[in-house]
Structure 1
Amino acid sequence: MDFKVLGPVSAEVDGRAVPLDGSKQRTVLAALLLAYGRSLTDERLVALLWGWERMATRTSRLYTYVSRLRTRIGPGLKLERIGRGYRMDIGDAVFDWDVFRRLAEAGRADLLAGRYAGAERRLAEALALWRGPALRDVTPYLADVEAPGLEEARISAQENHADAALALGRHVDVVTALTGLAAQYPVRERIRGQLMVALYRCGRQAEALAVYEEGRRVLAEELGIDPSPALRALHQQILRGVLPPPRAPERHGVTLSSPDARGLFRGGGVGHGLVPAMLPAGAGDFTGRVAETADVLAALHGRQDVLVTGAPGIGKSAFAVRVARQCRADFPHGLLYADLRAPDGTPRDPVEALGWFLRALGAADDELPATLDERAHLYRTLTAGRRTLVVLDNAADDAQVRPLLPGGDGSRTLVTGVRSTLASLEGTRLVRLGPMDADEARRLLAAVVGEERVAAEPEATARVVEACDGLPLALRVAGSRLAACQQWRIARLADRLAPEGRRLDELRFGSLDVRGRLRAALDPLDEATRRDCGVLAAVGPVPLTPPGTAELLGISFDEAEELLESLVNARILEARGVDGEVWLRYRFTPLMRLAIRGGATARAGGADTPPSRLPAGRSADALPKGRGSAAGVSFVQPARQLERAGVRIVCLPSVHQVFDVSRQ
């Protein structure tokens, strides 16, 4: 058995992934793993699942999660009831947190003993176990308790690894990683001092002194203190140019300026020093995303690949191109880019993308291997020993991405995609892009339209921003329309966007179409799920819960919860936190609800949809009626049952109430 918490919580038995149902079952598993054989009471587990308030009704759900966990992992797991709690013994199973701690402690011991090569090797192995933030998909209650301790252990290991590398004279190799860490943890003086040493030994004395001055300012402004005596002493050594040399002989590695693949092909870019630069043009008026940009840059500098995910139209592609351009200096051997979505919206074959990459790296057309595996092997050979950034845009799933991951440790990959299942890529930092806040949205609109025009109509601008719901694509369409129609006042567009029925018609300009982009999120779903999604969107802008969805659709609670989570994973729904009782609350964003509702109406009334009829001898008036309070709406009968009976449901979104049941 193999258990992992340093990233997404997962379990494997004989190499087979164990299916875990949502964040709560992963929370139960992670909590018992981190208890190290101690018994956890029902009250403690319930608090880690739902918080401390109103706990009395939660115990039965806890029993369900524990029972499912025991069944799915199988007899190799010793999970037993102890009094009023549970205890788990994993025996000889591999637990990545245990492995990390052993390697990190051994590396620290080697460092203290002056065995720098061994320390660097063990600490690098320990850090390679991390696949992103620890406990990434558990409840916030467990994450708040356990994640800070795990993250502190990780940072300490990174600091120890940097010390070992600096002692070996590998200052060039650690500059980028330390730059990212210093930006992420600005008040950790040890990291700042290590960065100063690395820069100084790279011949960048002025930059080393600037790092000290920045740290002094941050400490004064945020904590009201001066740098420590050790950091001040280091500053004086660098200022006078008397910093001691590395403590161990330099260990040479691959010479990045002379890739192993040089000369492999007859006349391509590798043999002639051509550096690939495949990024598309970036948006000159790109706005916002400051925190997310810092997060991605820190991960890339820290030797992590990055997955950028978010709803359709949220600006993932523009963001990835922007970040890639900002860090091009860190990847001297080129920037590779591939859009993994074909023009017709289908996933692109990775064989085609590998052909682009191999040509950019110097392969002639007649030297390209035919099969996917052969191209992937050659691609990894050409990128080994290089520092290249690979941007994989609009990825559909991890199977499409894996053949495109470069070889060697120097290259990094930046992936964008809608579906959160891409997070299964090992060692990847997940960065989610959400809607822009009102200030960011206004600045983006002003960047497209012009600041003077926006400032002249603040109230109308606020109405446009609100109608666009923080979606960068919608804001760009609105701005482009205003820029093209200089005679329009912003108030005119605000008035045209106000009616829900025509809003998406207005948010279309040239090749930009908000409705089409949002509806594309439904394409990977099966027909039944798309139909259920349309029913939920027709209910109106009300919160959805698993019990209410189950009653509305005439399905079981587990089916409803699975449906809602699948729509969250597809970025069609948002999970909005726990309500006053137990259940997560879900919602469509306003534009997504309008797009899905309009698409469902079009399909229901289109010529391709055969007319459905009530069974012979039945009338709409004879159907039984009831209420579903859990969903917060009224309805005639669970929608899926009515659909099976051949009944069409028509909803009035303005009052969120089913008001008519009639024959088609």
Structure 2
Amino acid sequence: MEFRLLGPVEARDGARRIAVSGTMMHTVLAALLLARGRVVSDGRLSELLWGWDPPATWNAQIYTYISRLRKLLGPKVDLVRRQPGYLLVADAARVDVVEFGRLERLGRRAMEERRWTQAAETLRQALDLWQGPALADVTPHLAEAELPQLEEERMSALEHRIEADLALGRHGQLTSELARLVGEFPVRERLRAQLMAALYRCGRQAEALRTFHEGREVLAEELGVGPGPDLTTAYQSLLSGELDNLPQPAPSLTSAVPAVSAPPVMIPPLPADFIGREREFDVLCRRLTSKEANGRAAFQPRRLLISGMPGVGKTALALRVAHAVADQFPDGLLYVQLRSDDGTVADCGEVLVTLLRALGATSENVLAPNGELARTEELVRRYRTRTAGRKLLILLDDAANELQLDPLLPDTTDSAVLVTSRNRLSAVPGSWTVALDPMETGESLDLLSVIAGGDRISAEPEAAHAVVEACGKLPLALRAAAARLAARPHWQMTRLARRLADPASRIEELRVSTLDVRQILSAALRQRPLSERDLICRLAVCAAGEFTAMAAAVLLRLPENAAEEFLERLVEASLLEAHGIDATGAPCYCFHPLLRLTAASLEDFPAEGELLRAG
């Protein structure tokens, strides 16, 4: 299936043109395609079809148009009703707008790396996708909303292609094309500067100077402004005689694009001792790259979530994935931590400023006219503008909730977002989640072996298994135990196993340097609302194994429904594990052993009387 929007709106199934007829049908199809995997609301469709004066039956008419499109497009395309509107899903389809964007990015990257021939050819392929004015047969309302951005993207690609041709010394072939384009777009200074370069390199210096003076007059008459940096730099280069070495490319006249800095790479290095998680790693990598690798249209936003309890290795897995797919994201790898070590949630404005500066924004770009930091809404707008059309991988580490994430998600599908969170963020639009459990026994032994030494594991296999079980197969605890062994080569594995065998002191044994299991787990517990903390403590002290909501209700003196809701909130926060059902069909729950020991050891949790006074 193929869709064309860069010209008349068309749908094709192989060589067969699908007979989508009428301006309204074309508009609905184009609006759904341009949304690129996002829901288009009924209200938005109404605006694009009829503007501010819809008919009384607008809702029924939209339903009719969608029904007709379903019949025409067939089973290869899903038109899904999803509140508050409709969603088009066609993963295997080719959309010329998406393909244009992909080729344009490849061409721009080739230019940044000074691969001029490849850049010119790739950008020429992108421009060849245009079959005339885009969205040629849609309503004026849709054209007004979408056409300016599409036309600007086309002109930018055209200017980049001319830039590459100039760098290749093709100025003689470009003068007539540039003269026509300057006549058509007289206030586009970059095109005029490129025409000046081509004329000068053809030995036509007087015409190049006249082109500048004509441009200055046009800008003054039509816009009331003087020449900008592109024209001014070109003019000064002509006057100073800096182009005497032609026909070598002259940066001042052939480089209308400002120097492009290296793409930002903010992600931390990969832990050298990363072990396991092969299945999750393969799935996440495929989800991030498969659509692009297969040349299919990327309709769905790539928003991948990694959830799990504290210390289970979410960030380590995310970093491994990010490093593995880095070459698929040529515009940069962004990283930001959304919570501090003590659990404090990062300020949204500060996070946006960090990301904007990584994307090239200056201090002035993040300030309001009064010199203060711009409002969050304005920072979000600038962030989404800078991420649009760029192929970025954005790693958002330790997200607190969906509200914190929403401003940080790009509007387009060009970028991918990888999120880690101990909470199960099921309300993030278009997301797909990998839930991490503690490691398997084999992976746990491998992790011990990598850090502490394989010979110690093989010399005392039973003690090694005992250490793994005492750590609950939690990667954070296993690293702490292995680091203790590595720092004490004179210890036998059996000695550490004995020290970990006592539950009363186990949590204190799992601390070495910056690896402190108790500190990290207790920080997660302290982030729960005050009204829940005493309940967690009492539950952890008394519930050594699996238990049901009814048992918890008796222990906590709560109604059973209230107890079950409380337990499910802990499951969603990865502080409790759901373990199947009992003989009566009731869900069973249990704490991870180390989380239970941590909760039971926190003496400064408020007592019940204090909770009553706080309320």
- Contact 1:418/1:570 (<8 A) preserved: yes
**1:64-213 map, 5 Å:** 111=13, 113-115=16-18, 128=38, 161=90, 164-165=93-94, 170=99, 173=102
Say whether 1:376 aligns with 2:380.
yes
Q: Give the counterpart of 1:353 among 351, 354, 361.
A: 351
- Contact 1:299/1:305 (<8 A) preserved: no
**1:390-429 map, 5 Å:** 390-420=394-424, 422-429=425-432
Partners of 2:592 and 2:274 in 1: CA distance: 23
Report the CA distance between 1:270 and its aligned residue: 8.3
Partners of 1:270 and 1:383 in 2: CA distance: 18
- Contact 1:116/1:165 (<8 A) preserved: no
Partners of 1:342 and 1:116 in 2: CA distance: 56
Report the CA distance between 1:271 and its aligned residue: 5.0
Partners of 1:590 and 1:154 in 2: CA distance: 50
Partners of 2:573 and 2:397 in 1: CA distance: 16
Say whether 1:502 aligns with 2:505.
yes
Partners of 2:558 and 2:608 in 1: CA distance: 24
- 1:560 maps to a residue whose letter is A
- Contact 2:36/2:413 (<8 A) preserved: no
SS at match of 2:506: helix
Partners of 1:298 and 1:336 in 2: CA distance: 20
Q: Deviations over 1:397-439 (max 9, x none)?
A: 112111212242201111111111x221101111111110001
Partners of 2:607 and 2:445 in 1: CA distance: 42
- 2:410 maps to a residue whose letter is P
Say whether 1:551 aligns with 2:550.
no
SS at match of 1:497: helix
- 1:419 maps to a residue whose letter is N
Q: Give the counterpart of 1:282 among 261, 267, 270.
A: 270
Report the CA distance between 1:342 and its aligned residue: 2.3
Counterpart residue number, 1:458: 461
Report the CA distance between 1:366 and its aligned residue: 3.5
Report the CA distance between 1:513 and its aligned residue: 0.9
- 1:360 maps to a residue whose letter is A
Report the CA distance between 1:589 and its aligned residue: 1.1
Partners of 2:98 and 2:128 in 1: CA distance: 7
Partners of 1:554 and 1:162 in 2: CA distance: 52
Counterpart residue number, 2:306: 308
Distance 1:306 1:491, change over 3 A: same
Q: Give the counterpart of 2:284 among 296, 304, 310.
A: 296
Partners of 2:543 and 2:477 in 1: CA distance: 21
How many equivalent pairs are there? 405
- 2:277 maps to a residue whose letter is R
Partners of 1:273 and 1:432 in 2: CA distance: 37
Counterpart residue number, 1:526: 529
Partners of 1:511 and 1:272 in 2: CA distance: 39
Distance 1:365 1:538, change over 3 A: same
Counterpart residue number, 2:317: 319
Q: Give the counterpart of 2:493 among 490, 495, 499.
A: 490
Report the CA distance between 1:492 and its aligned residue: 1.1
Q: Give the counterpart of 1:250 among 129, 151, 157.
A: 129
- 2:343 maps to a residue whose letter is G
Partners of 1:437 and 1:426 in 2: CA distance: 31
Distance 1:446 1:124, change over 3 A: farther
SS at match of 1:473: helix
SS at match of 2:547: coil
- Contact 2:534/2:608 (<8 A) preserved: no
Partners of 2:558 and 2:92 in 1: CA distance: 58
Report the CA distance between 1:298 and its aligned residue: 2.5
Say whether 1:341 aligns with 2:339.
yes
Report the CA distance between 1:464 and its aligned residue: 0.9
SS at match of 1:452: helix
- 2:303 maps to a residue whose letter is D
Q: Give the counterpart of 1:468 among 459, 468, 471.
A: 471
TM-score norm. by structure 1 comes to: 0.55
- Contact 1:108/1:160 (<8 A) preserved: no
**1:234-245 map, 5 Å:** none
Distance 1:284 1:170, change over 3 A: same
SS at match of 1:381: helix
Distance 1:495 1:373, change over 3 A: same
Counterpart residue number, 2:538: 535
Q: Deviations over 1:41-61 (max 9, x none)?
A: xxxxxxxxxxxxxxxxxxxxx
- Contact 1:116/1:168 (<8 A) preserved: no
Report the CA distance between 1:480 and its aligned residue: 0.9
Counterpart residue number, 2:480: 477
Partners of 2:75 and 2:323 in 1: CA distance: 28
SS at match of 1:114: strand
Partners of 2:479 and 2:600 in 1: CA distance: 23
- 2:356 maps to a residue whose letter is L
SS at match of 2:334: strand
Distance 1:108 1:511, change over 3 A: farther
Partners of 1:501 and 1:592 in 2: CA distance: 13
SS at match of 1:424: coil
- Contact 1:550/1:560 (<8 A) preserved: yes
Partners of 2:501 and 2:288 in 1: CA distance: 42
Q: Give the counterpart of 2:446 among 443, 454, 458.
A: 443
- Contact 1:441/1:465 (<8 A) preserved: yes
Report the CA distance between 1:387 and its aligned residue: 0.4
Report the CA distance between 1:115 and its aligned residue: 4.2
Unaligned runs of 5+ in 1: 1-106, 131-152, 177-202, 204-245, 613-639, 645-664
Report the CA distance between 1:163 and its aligned residue: 5.0
Partners of 1:560 and 1:539 in 2: CA distance: 15
Distance 1:385 1:108, change over 3 A: closer
- 2:496 maps to a residue whose letter is L
**1:581-660 map, 5 Å:** 581-599=584-602, 602-603=603-604
SS at match of 1:503: helix
- Structure 1 range deviating more: 508-517 or 332-341: 508-517
Partners of 2:380 and 2:94 in 1: CA distance: 31
Partners of 1:116 and 1:319 in 2: CA distance: 48
Partners of 1:108 and 1:561 in 2: CA distance: 53
Partners of 1:413 and 1:169 in 2: CA distance: 19
